[in-house]
């Protein structure tokens, strides 16, 4: 298995890929990205990820991108890498142009990067059995959090504090004291048999795993409520759950040294994890 990159249609070992210092993704963070999970060589939630990528490009007024060609390159790269279980990273920037804040006029060709890497789920699988620790951190990100851009400095700063505290994630809290999401996962919490989460909007990313999990919640007949909740409500929840592309479904058992529920993964997180894995297995059997 090899970590391969496809840069503007050219396949190479990932560590040999190079972009110009004048690329707007490098200079301005003028770029969007997506991360797909690969199971047994197949892309999971492909349509959902591709739809969000298309939306991100449109929201930032990118020129039309050849998405069919992009996905053909993705599939070819997966085959060439011989990776069964892994991730696909896609990044599209506004291209290479003289450094000025306004968009290039006329537009220049975008820079398109695809990277396929193996992913070992075993360490995360062990954490699903025990649950994980999290800290809270002020949400310092820009306001359009619903667009999946490479502008991740707020996420990086929060995650670094989590790492220093020996925690798995940082839960982000806005200036009004309401919980939004985590640095690289979506956040759900359980109270009174009901699943809760921050409403979709500019405050949070429309997570593909979150949306698939919420469809699972609905299919299981579990009530869901989209609500802006203060941190105190989340700390008092019966369960707090992270969902994400590689985390999948994982329980938070401690937040800022406050034990959540019993301090172990609860029945709802286990039920959702079992249901989510069943969906993946059904997909792979199809």
* Integer Cα distance of 158 and 3 in angstroms: 28
Q: What are the structure tokens assigned to 89, written together?
A: 């990273």
Share of the chain above pLDDT 90, in %: 99
Q: Are residues 166 and 98 in the same domain?
A: no
pLDDT at 128: 97
Domain co-membership, 180 together with 281? yes
State the pLDDT confidence band at 2, using cuts at 50, 70 and 90.
confident
Question: Do 95 and 192 sit in the same domain of this protein?
Answer: no
Taking residues 73-95, report their average pLDDT.
Answer: 97
Residue 105 has pLDDT above 90, yes or no: yes
Is the same domain home to 22 and 149?
no
On whether the CB atoms of residues 181 and 198 are closer than 8 A, the answer is yes
Give tens-digit pLDDT for 182-235: 999 999 999 999 999 999 999 999 999 999 999 999 999 999 999 999 999 999
b/e code 221-230 from CB counts within 10 Å (16+ = b) = ebeeeeeebe
Dist. CA 80–CA 204, nearest whole Å: 35
At 121-155, the pLDDT tens digits run 999 999 999 999 999 999 999 999 999 999 999 99
Residue 148 falls in the annotated catalytic set: yes
CB 134 within 8 A of CB 182: yes
Find where tokens 């994400």 sit.
244
Rg from Cα positions in the chain: 19
Where residue 274 falls among pLDDT bands split at 50, 70, 90? very high
Q: Are residues 63 and 192 in the same domain?
A: no
For residues 173 and 90, membership in a common domain is answered with no
- In this structure, the number of other CB atoms found within 10 A of the CB of residue 151 comes to 17
**Entry field: residues in the chain:** 286
Q: Which residues pair with 225 in a beta bridge?
A: 196
Residues 167 and 198 in one domain: yes
Range of the domain at 272: 124-285
Q: Are residues 146 and 87 in the same domain?
A: no
Work out the average pLDDT over 243-268.
97
- Do 171 and 187 contact (CB within 8 A), yes or no? yes
Position 41 confidence tier, pLDDT thresholds 50, 70, 90: very high
Q: Are residues 270 and 195 in the same domain?
A: yes
The answer on 178 and 75 residing in a single domain is no
Count of the separate structural domains present in the chain:
2
- Name the average pLDDT for the chain: 97
> Is the peptide bond prior to 106 cis by the omega test (within 30 degrees of 0)?
yes
Confidence band of 86 (pLDDT split at 50, 70, 90)? very high
Question: pLDDT tens across 168-191, in order?
Answer: 999 999 999 999 999 999 999 999
Q: Above 90 in pLDDT, residue 246? A: yes
**Strand, coil or helix: what is 78?**
helix
Together in a domain, 270 and 167: yes
* CA dist., res. 182 & res. 64, Å (int): 31
Same domain for 162 and 274? yes
Find the catalytic residue in 54, 117, 148, 163.
Answer: 148
What CATH code is carried by the domain that includes residue 186?
3.20.10.10
Per-residue pLDDT band at 286 (split at 50, 70, 90): confident
In this structure, are residues 49 and 88 in contact, taking their beta carbons and an 8 Å threshold?
Answer: no
Would you say residue 1 has pLDDT above 80?
A: no
For residue 66, what is the DSSP state? Answer: -
Pairing of the two strands 169-173 and 132-138 = parallel
């Amino acid at each position: 298995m090899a970590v391969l990159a496809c840069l503007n249609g050219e396949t190479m070992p990932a560590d040999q890929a190079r972009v110009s210092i004048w690329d707007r993704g490098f200079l301005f963070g003028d770029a969007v990205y997506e991360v797909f999970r690969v199971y047994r060589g197949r892309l999971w939630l492909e349509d959902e990820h591709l739809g969000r990528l298309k939306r991100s490009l449109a929201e930032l007024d990118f020129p039309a991108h050849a998405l069919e060609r992009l996905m053909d390159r993705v599939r070819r790269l997966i085959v060439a890498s011989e990776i069964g279980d892994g991730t696909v990273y896609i990044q599209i920037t506004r291209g290479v142009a003289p450094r000025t804040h306004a968009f290039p006029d006329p537009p220049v060709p975008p820079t398109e990067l695809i990277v396929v890497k193996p992913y070992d789920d075993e360490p995360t699988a062990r954490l699903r059995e025990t649950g994980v620790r999290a800290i809270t951190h002020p949400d310092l990100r820009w306001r359009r959090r619903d667009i999946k851009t490479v502008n991740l400095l707020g996420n990086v700063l929060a995650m670094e504090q989590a790492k220093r505290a020996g925690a798995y994630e940082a839960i982000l809290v806005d200036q009004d004291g309401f919980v939004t999401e985590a640095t690289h996962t979506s956040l759900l919490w359980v109270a009174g048999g009901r699943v809760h989460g921050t409403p979709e909007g500019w405050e949070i990313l429309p997570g593909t795993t979150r949306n698939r999990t919420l469809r699972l919640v609905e299919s299981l007949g579990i009530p869901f409520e989209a609500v802006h909740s203060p941190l105190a409500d989340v700390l008092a929840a019966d369960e707090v759950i992270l969902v994400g592309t590689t985390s999948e479904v994982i329980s938070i058992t401690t937040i800022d040294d406050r034990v959540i529920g019993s301090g172990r993964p609860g029945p709802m997180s286990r039920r959702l994890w079992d249901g989510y894995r069943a969906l993946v297995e059904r997909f792979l059997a199809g």
